[in-house]
Amino acid sequence: MTWEKPQLSEKHANVIRATLPLVGQHINEITSLFYKTMFQNHPELIKDLFNRGNQKQGAQQKALAASVAVFASKLVNENEELPAHLFSRIGHKHAALGITADQYQIVHDNLFYAIVQVLGADTVTAEVAEAWDRVYWLMADMLIKFEKGLYDEAGVEPGKVFRQVKVVQSDKLTDDVTLFSIESTDASKPLPAHKPGQYISVRARLPDGAGQLRQYSLVDDGVKAGRLSFAVKAVTATESAPAGEVSNWLSQNARVGTELEVSVPFGDLVLNTASSAPVVLVSAGIGATPMMGMLSRLVHDKSERQIIVLHVDKSAATDAFASQAKQLVSKLSNCRFHSWYAEGTSDDTTTVGEKLNLGKESLPKDALVYLCGSTEFLQAAAKDLKETGIPGDNVQFELFTPNDWLIS
């Protein structure tokens, strides 16, 4: 999809230019109060929709702050285009959560309440409120239209994305990674095929009654309807982040026969199967999951494209897909595979004790590059890729936290 930049009136644009620094200065305060107020008014949203772990860390607030600020700044700068990857990712995430147009009004009302409370009614005059209201609805309408297209493509009504499924296979890949295969509980309505690299939302009914949702990439080739497979890494608590509620619940409770609720597939980190250009798959840790889906599709298609698979992990013991990746690579006629581990022993396909530097990998200039990993990993990869001469439009990425604005 081409994201056409909507137009602000000159009057509204002047107001946004004048107030954007002030809003930006207080955006974290605004969004913190916004979420607090919205969850007080609509407790069902934090219970069954928003990621409680991200809320505890403030990650979701920062994501909203960034997207609104970026959108406003682009609108008032004639020489800048909208960051298509950012808004596409937001739209796909919304679709996977079943977001509908009416929920944008809830966000609007609570966000503008927070803006007035933080900046003060003397600052947020009728003129200022009108200009920012216009910015919000331009962004909202753009996303609503995009999400409607995603629902249409998936063949579902807006928001009606969830299906009841059962676990038909469960395999422990490492100490903390489990591979689940699921099928519909209704044999007459099989789970759909999908594009390689996409994900599903999985709802876990937790002991406190909350129905928390998380997204997990699909690792199968996606060609046939019926069965989907995804891997879950049980996230342990750290000093800066709580343990993963859903990942640990699934790892400890989901067994063959367990019923779950999942969305149909969405996601814009998708292998271009129509192209003959070289493919470079780069991942770190559990970020290998969408790459496994892409690699599986390339094997299914008996692809003769030049393919390079690069993966970073702690060790062979923590590399959940090492064996499967090597097996798939062996079935491709023109594929190079290499891993970088912090611990272990180096060999022909493994480097230990050194960091991956994409700038030293002799990547084809016309390659389509797909990245998935932590924010820090993607920042380093993006920096390396700038030095290779590969066009930015040829690079796509996915990460598992709402930090897109940190990837440049």
Residues with a known catalytic role:
104, 147
Name the amino acid, one letter, at 41.
N
Q: Which two tokens stand for residue 362?
A: 């002799």
Query: 51: exposed, middle or buried (C-beta count within 10 Å: 0-12, 13-18, 19+)?
Result: buried
Query: 97: exposed, middle or buried (C-beta count within 10 Å: 0-12, 13-18, 19+)?
Result: buried
What span, in angstroms and rounded, lies between the C-alpha atoms of 109 and 120? 16
What span, in angstroms and rounded, lies between the C-alpha atoms of 159 and 152? 11
| 35: nearest Cα among 2, 63, 4, 61 | 61
Contact between 68 and 184 under an 8 Å Cβ cutoff? The reply is: no
The sheet that has 199-205: what strands, in order across it?
A: 211-217, 199-205, 259-263, 162-172, 177-184, 227-233
231: Cβ–Cβ under 8 A, 6 or more apart, which residues? 173, 177, 178, 179, 180, 216, 217, 219, 286, 289, 320, 321
Residue 218 has what DSSP assignment? Answer: B
Name the amino acid, one letter, at 6.
P
| 291: nearest Cα among 331, 337, 236 | 337
What span, in angstroms and rounded, lies between the C-alpha atoms of 103 and 311? 39
